[in-house]
Amino acid sequence: MKTFNLSIAAIAAMSIVSASSADSLEEAIKNGKVSGAVQAYNFSRNVNSGKDYQITTLNLDLSYETARFYGFGAKATFQAAASPWASETAKDTRKGDMYGSGAQLSELYLSYVGGNTTVQAGRMYFWSPVLGGSGSRPTKEAFQGISLVNSDLPDTTITLAYMNRMQSRTDGNGDIGEFTRTFTGWDGSELEDGAYTIALTNKSIENLTLTAAYLDAIDAYKTGYFEAAYNFGNFGLSSQYYYSEQEDQDDTNLVGVQATTSVGPVDLLAAYVTVDDADGVIPGAGNGADLAYTWSEIFSDQYRADQDSFKLQAVYNINKDANVGISYVNEDNKAANEEYGYTAIKGSYNLTKSFNIWAAYEMGSQDAKNDGMRVKLNYTF
């Protein structure tokens, strides 16, 4: 298959063609908006099975988006990251996600909005159920390609996308991530011809949300996802199904169920997930493609072959700006004859409308030897 490539020059040319006069283009630029975030994340871990570490990473995310002109617009986002106090151990241990200094132009795209359709082409932050970038680290993951979102059908949103490169959090060698053909995440394949996805969300039945998605990581693997979520009053019930296949390995699947409810200011959750014994499930491309219900705050791996997991969680909402919670995740990995337990205490507080602090401490038990803590400070503007 011929690889689809987008260049900065091509995007710039499209922008020029879309503008009918310099005055109108000038107005679109003048009426644009600047936004961004300043972040400081501290991750630490104590382990019996590997190296201890503590690392603080700082990040600046700065965006400029033009106003629209005949439906057309453009956006650019610059990311810069540094870990000035990292030890050599921390650098080595976290080079895959937290230690990557430098700067990157993570977004540079032309967009068009017409009726109920939005098209974007270029570098972008992008998320769909089985092809999605993660924002859980200071440096966000991004993709290069083209996406289309349409909501012409009643109560239905359809997303189509083709991505041929991905920017990871880091390059694995101490620098910020670059746009490459390697799509990091649960598989980390090098995709010479990129990946296609289609996703559909339907809310035509009252209180019921149906989600279906499919990913073709060309010549590497395929992933399908389906979820049905029903809410009634203070209660919610949902079920999910993953399917993945790749060459030279058995097809495999994951099934999960989840129940939620609210009792006054307390939100409660119970979930269960089971994975086929044939092989582990690939939930998609990018670390944001991670929807299995029994995730823990730091350590869990919900996609191992022949594993059953359950999660219990309670969150107390102190007020609209603050909450504290506790969760327990148990993973019974029958293939390895090991059982992992993770207990997490977490909290979030909005000091202002723009400034948030989030923290979590997770303790491993049974065959899980790691304890970890994460603190995130986010200021948005």
Q: List the beta strands (DSSP E) in 7-135.
A: 33-46, 53-65, 72-82, 102-114, 117-124, 127-128, 131-132
17: pLDDT strictly greater than 50: no
Distances (CA, A) of 180 to 138, 190, 256: 19, 8, 33
4: pLDDT strictly greater than 60: no
The reported pTM is 0.91
pLDDT of residue 49: 64
Could you read off the pLDDT of 169-206 as tens digits, one per residue?
A: 999 999 999 999 999 988 899 999 999 999 999 999 99
Task: For residues 320-341, give the mean pLDDT.
Answer: 96
162: pLDDT strictly greater than 70: yes
Could you read off the pLDDT of 207-245 as tens digits, one per residue?
A: 999 999 999 999 999 999 999 999 999 999 999 999 999
Say if residue 158 is exposed, middle or buried (CB neighbours under 10 Å; 0-12, 13-18, 19+): middle
Between 48 and 304, the higher pLDDT residue = 304
Say which range, 15-29, 162-176, 201-215, 261-275, has the weakest mean pLDDT.
Answer: 15-29
Nearest to 273 by CA among 315, 224, 326, 332: 332
SS3 call for 248: coil
- How confident is residue 22, by pLDDT bands cut at 50, 70 and 90? very low
14: pLDDT strictly greater than 60: no
| Domains, the chain, ordered by start | 8-380 (2.40.160.10)
313 contacts 360 by C-beta, under 8 angstroms: no
pLDDT of residue 186: 85
- How confident is residue 23, by pLDDT bands cut at 50, 70 and 90? low
Between 50 and 299, the higher pLDDT residue = 299
7: pLDDT strictly greater than 50: no
pLDDT of residue 24: 78
Q: Give the dihedral sign, CA 78/177/137/196.
A: positive
